[in-house]
Amino acid sequence: MNTCDLVIRGGTVVTEGAVADCDVSISGGVIVQLGGSMQGAAELDARGALVLPGGIDPHVHLSYPDPQPAEPGWADDFASGSAAAIAGGVTTIGNMTFPAEGDSLHQALARDLAAARDSAAVDYLLHPVMLGHMTGALAELPGLAREGHRSVKLFMTSAAFDQHADTMVEAVRVAGESGLLTLIHCEDGALIRFAGQQLLAAGRGGLSDWAASRPVAAERAAVQRAVAICEATGSPVYIVHVSSAQALDAARAGRARGLPVFVETRPLYLYLTSSALAGPQGGRFIGAPPLREDSDIAALWAGLGDGSIDTLGSDHAPWRLHHKIDATLDVTTARQGVADLETMLPMLYSAGVRTGRISLGRFVALTAANAARLLGLYPRKGTIAVGSDADILILDPQIRQTIDGRSMYSKAGYSAYDGHEVHGWPRFTVSRGEVVLADGQVLAQPGRGKWLPRGV
């Protein structure tokens, strides 16, 4: 019997289409055997636990275009964000790369590639953000695809999107023609600006008015427009962080016509409603789009179960609490985003699989397999199969954890879910065959993560 590097023993191995009690053999960072006799130089005890593909979080914010911003930036970088990912069972991340004023897409990517190379502890890819003021960005897209990048991101919230609408539509066309997936933040900027100014004129517009400042109509209209752009160009679009039933229905309508429209939602919208914004620290829950209502939560859970939603992305954009609840902020200046890398997978298991809302197969699809396919990583990532990277989450359904952001690896220092009890938590995380989490302790060294270019 040959000796491999690592054996995972006694667990229940789960993929999209199968559940089996078997051991997993790993050598050279990849899976070499499932089931049968095997002997490892090292072993992990997975008895009573689920052996799942390592999570792929396609949507995180771990870099800032200005290394010394005048305003406070996000609390995490590639190092602390990677630690949070590992603690939550995530082994691959997709980071939004924003250009500084005057930067090209290539310059922005070069900056983040250098930062991640030195500090990321999980594997990563980068989504360059194309802003309306970027002269020459359109011409860069084919080259980015040739160099191994897989995507581009657009924001409909920006006034520049409408000012340069012809260029933005052409960017979607060129991206698709070049093999890039276009990620789109779908909220209509004009409607949001109108709502915010109306609130301020009425003497409102504080952080507790955040939901009213970004109405469902603005999200629905933007999704409908994104679907229309997809239809006109024939290029695939990926709608990030859908928050409402109406927006999901608009995306479904496009898919029903056979259009390549893909949908992501965000954990924040599965557990909390807009009532949280009215509390004394309501600003801690601010994200864009805002929290919605119970009926929207129900619709999103139904979409997770029936396949209308393809992926779950944390949109991890962590601020420190005093920056979020700053009383000088209003609906036009609020700091958007929360920490969610560490909580995304265990909370979905606890509230989804354990309650019967989604199956184990859907859990794997939503957290790993679908993102791997959309981003050109499958089957290297997103599954447990011979020849795949040994990216594995060993989740123990018996572990109960009360969320306390102060004890987590994110530097935010709080969680939007503080006090929530979760049933099921990572026991081990394995990244390319290396045990990077054991019993709550992150073991990985910064810089061990790898960029994932197309075709590699």
pLDDT digits (tens, 9 = 90+) for 65-75: 876 666 678 99
CA distance 55 to 382: 7
Taking residues 135-152, report their average pLDDT: 94
pLDDT tier for residue 159 given thresholds of 50, 70 and 90: very high
Q: What is the pLDDT of residue 72?
A: 76
Helix, strand, coil share of the chain (percent; to 5): 35, 25, 40
Nearest to 168 by CA among 228, 214, 127: 228
Q: What is the residue-averaged pLDDT of the chain? A: 96
The amino acid at residue 283 is: G
Statement: residue 328 has pLDDT above 90: yes
pTM exceeds 0.85 for this model: yes
Compute the C-alpha angle 278/284/285, nearest 5°. 70
Angstrom CA distances, 167 to 2, 175, 237, 252, stand at 58, 12, 16, 26
Taking residues 249-274, report their average pLDDT: 98
Residue boundaries of the structural domains of the chain: 3-51+384-442, 55-374
The reply to whether CATH 2.30.40.10 applies to domain 3-51+384-442 is: yes
Q: What is the pLDDT of residue 350?
A: 98
Compute the C-alpha angle 176/241/391, nearest 5°. 80
Taking residues 225-235, report their average pLDDT: 98
Q: What is the pLDDT of residue 70?
A: 60
Phi, psi of 237 (to 5 degrees): -125, 145
Which CATH fold would you assign to the domain 55-374? TIM Barrel (3.20.20)
% pLDDT > 90, the chain? 94
pLDDT digits (tens, 9 = 90+) for 287-327: 999 999 999 999 999 999 999 999 999 999 999 999 999 99
Pairing of β 441-442 and β 434-438: antiparallel
SS3 57: strand
Taking residues 326-332, report their average pLDDT: 95
Angstrom CA distances, 248 to 129, 217, 282, 344, 425, stand at 23, 12, 25, 20, 29
Q: What is the pLDDT of residue 132?
A: 75
Nearest to 168 by CA among 198, 189, 191: 189
CA distance 74 to 319: 5
Q: Which tokens is 341 given?
A: 């890398």
Statement: residue 248 has pLDDT above 70: yes
